[in-house]
Chains A and B, each alone.
Chain A
Amino acid sequence: MIYLDNSATTKPHKEILATFLKASEEYFGNPASLHKIGNEAEKLLESARRQISQLLKMDQIVFTSGGTESNNLAILGTADAYRSRGRHVVSAVTEHASVLKPLEELERRGFEVTRLAVDKFGQIDLNELKNSVRSDTILVTLMHINNETGAVHPIAEIKKILGGTRALLHTDAVQSIGKVPLDTDSMPDLLTMSAHKIHGLKGSGVLAFNKVQPGAILFGGGQESGYRSGTVAVPQAAALAKALRLAQPNPLFAEWNRNLREFFGSFDDIMIVSPDNAAPHILSVALRGAKGEVLVSGLQDEAVFVSTSSACSSKNTETSHVIEALNLPPVFREGVIRISFGAFTTQQNITDFQRAFKKVHRIIKGVRNNEN
Chain B
Amino acid sequence: MKTNQILVRYGELSTKGKNRSSFIGRLRDNIHHTFSDLGKLQIKAERDRMFINSDSEEDMEQVISRLPKVFGIQSFSPVTETELSLEAMKSAAETLIGKMDTEGKSFKVTVRRANKDFELQKPEILHGIGSHVLRAFPGLLVQMKNPEIDLKVEIRDKAAYMTAEVIQGAGGLPIGAGGKALLMLSGGLDSPVAGFHMLKRGVRLELIHFFSPPFTNDRAKEKVFDLAQKLSEFGSSVNLHIIPFTKLQQEVHKQVPDNITMTSTRRMMMRVADGVLEETGCKAIITGESLGQVASQTLESLHAINAVTTTPVLRPLIATDKLEIIDTAMQIGTHDISVRPYEDCCTIFTPANPKTKPKLEKVEYYEGFVSFDELIQEAVEKREVIKFPRAKINEFDELL
Contact with B along A334-347 (1 / 0, CB 8 A): 00000000000000
Across the interface, which residues of B come within 8 angstroms of A19, CB to CB?
399-400
Decide: B400 and A34 in contact? CB cutoff 8 A: no
Complex alpha-carbon distance, A242 and B395, angstroms:
14
Q: Which of the candidate stretches A43-51, A210-218, A359-367 sits at the interface with the other chain? A: A43-51
Decide: B399 and A238 in contact? CB cutoff 8 A: yes
A245 at the interface (CB under 8 A from B): yes
Residues facing B in A32-54 (CB within 8 A) are 34-36, 39, 43-44, 47-48, 51
Complex alpha-carbon distance, A51 and B222, angstroms:
20
Decide: B399 and A23 in contact? CB cutoff 8 A: yes
Looking at chain A's contact residues, the main secondary structure is helix
**Shortest distance between the CB of A47 and any CB in chain B (Å):** 5
Decide: B219 and A242 in contact? CB cutoff 8 A: no
B394 at the interface (CB under 8 A from A): yes
CB-CB under 8 A for A51 and B400, given A34-B217, A39-B218 = yes
Contact with B along A81-123 (1 / 0, CB 8 A): 0000000000000000000000000000000000000000000
Complex alpha-carbon distance, A23 and B400, angstroms:
10
B369 at the interface (CB under 8 A from A): no
Complex alpha-carbon distance, A44 and B394, angstroms:
10
Among B218, B394, B400, point to the contact of A242 (Cβ < 8 A): B400
**Shortest distance between the CB of A31 and any CB in chain B (Å):** 11
Decide: A39 and B399 in contact? CB cutoff 8 A: no
B365 at the interface (CB under 8 A from A): no
Decide: B219 and A39 in contact? CB cutoff 8 A: yes
Decide: A242 and B399 in contact? CB cutoff 8 A: yes
Complex alpha-carbon distance, A198 and B217, angstroms:
39
Complex alpha-carbon distance, A245 and B394, angstroms:
15
Decide: A34 and B219 in contact? CB cutoff 8 A: yes
Across the interface, which residues of A come within 8 angstroms of B396, CB to CB?
43-44, 47-48, 238
Across the interface, which residues of A come within 8 angstroms of B218, CB to CB?
36, 39
A134 at the interface (CB under 8 A from B): no
Decide: B222 and A39 in contact? CB cutoff 8 A: yes
A358 at the interface (CB under 8 A from B): no
Decide: A47 and B219 in contact? CB cutoff 8 A: no
Among A34, A35, A36, A44, point to the contact of B399 (Cβ < 8 A): A44
Decide: A47 and B394 in contact? CB cutoff 8 A: yes
Across the interface, which residues of A come within 8 angstroms of B222, CB to CB?
39
**Shortest distance between the CB of A134 and any CB in chain B (Å):** 28
Decide: B399 and A22 in contact? CB cutoff 8 A: yes
Across the interface, which residues of B come within 8 angstroms of A34, CB to CB?
217, 219, 342
Complex alpha-carbon distance, A217 and B200, angstroms:
45
Complex alpha-carbon distance, A241 and B342, angstroms:
28
Across the interface, which residues of A come within 8 angstroms of B394, CB to CB?
47
Complex alpha-carbon distance, A238 and B397, angstroms:
11
Across the interface, which residues of B come within 8 angstroms of A51, CB to CB?
400
**Shortest distance between the CB of A53 and any CB in chain B (Å):** 12
Across the interface, which residues of B come within 8 angstroms of A35, CB to CB?
217
Decide: B400 and A245 in contact? CB cutoff 8 A: yes
Contact with B along A288-311 (1 / 0, CB 8 A): 000000000000000000000000
Complex alpha-carbon distance, A48 and B395, angstroms:
11
Contact with A along B370-400 (1 / 0, CB 8 A): 0000000000000000000000001110011
Across the interface, which residues of A come within 8 angstroms of B219, CB to CB?
34, 39
Complex alpha-carbon distance, A43 and B342, angstroms:
16
- Name which residue of chain B comes closest to A42, CB basis: B219
Complex alpha-carbon distance, A34 and B340, angstroms:
12
Contact with A along B189-223 (1 / 0, CB 8 A): 00000000000000000000000000001110010
Among B217, B342, B395, B400, point to the contact of A238 (Cβ < 8 A): B400
**Shortest distance between the CB of A126 and any CB in chain B (Å):** 27
**Shortest distance between the CB of A201 and any CB in chain B (Å):** 14
Among B217, B218, B342, B396: residue with most chain A CB under 10 A = B396
**Shortest distance between the CB of A240 and any CB in chain B (Å):** 10
**Shortest distance between the CB of A16 and any CB in chain B (Å):** 10
Complex alpha-carbon distance, A43 and B400, angstroms:
12
**Shortest distance between the CB of B176 and any CB in chain A (Å):** 31
Across the interface, which residues of A come within 8 angstroms of B399, CB to CB?
19, 22-23, 44, 238, 242
Complex alpha-carbon distance, A276 and B235, angstroms:
53
Complex alpha-carbon distance, A266 and B173, angstroms:
75
Contact with B along A13-37 (1 / 0, CB 8 A): 0000001001100000000001110
**Shortest distance between the CB of A127 and any CB in chain B (Å):** 29
- Name which residue of chain A comes closest to B400, CB basis: A241
Complex alpha-carbon distance, A62 and B291, angstroms:
40
Contact with B along A225-244 (1 / 0, CB 8 A): 00000000000001001100
Across the interface, which residues of B come within 8 angstroms of A39, CB to CB?
218-219, 222
**Shortest distance between the CB of A45 and any CB in chain B (Å):** 10
Complex alpha-carbon distance, A245 and B400, angstroms:
8
Complex alpha-carbon distance, A117 and B217, angstroms:
58
Across the interface, which residues of B come within 8 angstroms of A36, CB to CB?
218
Across the interface, which residues of B come within 8 angstroms of A245, CB to CB?
400
Complex alpha-carbon distance, A245 and B219, angstroms:
28
Across the interface, which residues of B come within 8 angstroms of A44, CB to CB?
396, 399
**Shortest distance between the CB of B169 and any CB in chain A (Å):** 26
Complex alpha-carbon distance, A43 and B399, angstroms:
12
**Shortest distance between the CB of B229 and any CB in chain A (Å):** 13
Residues facing B in A222-267 (CB within 8 A) are 238, 241-242, 245
Complex alpha-carbon distance, A44 and B395, angstroms:
9
- Name which residue of chain A comes closest to B219, CB basis: A39
**Shortest distance between the CB of A89 and any CB in chain B (Å):** 32
Complex alpha-carbon distance, A51 and B392, angstroms:
14
Decide: B400 and A47 in contact? CB cutoff 8 A: yes
Complex alpha-carbon distance, A331 and B399, angstroms:
51
Chain A positions near chain B (C-beta within 8 angstroms): 19, 22-23, 34-36, 39, 43-44, 47-48, 51, 238, 241-242, 245
Interchain residue pairs with CB less than 8 A apart (28): A19-B399, A19-B400, A22-B399, A23-B399, A34-B217, A34-B219, A34-B342, A35-B217, A36-B218, A39-B218, A39-B219, A39-B222, A43-B395, A43-B396, A44-B396, A47-B394, A47-B395, A47-B396, A47-B400, A48-B396, A48-B400, A51-B400, A238-B396, A238-B399, A241-B400, A242-B399, A242-B400, A245-B400
Given A19-B399, A47-B400: 17 more A-B contacts, CB < 8 Å: A22-B399, A23-B399, A34-B217, A34-B219, A34-B342, A35-B217, A43-B395, A47-B395, A47-B396, A48-B400, A51-B400, A238-B396, A238-B400, A241-B400, A242-B399, A242-B400, A245-B400
Counting from the closest, the 4 A-B pairs by CB-CB distance are: A47-B396, A241-B400, A51-B400, A242-B400
Chain B positions near chain A (C-beta within 8 angstroms): 217-219, 222, 342, 394-396, 399-400
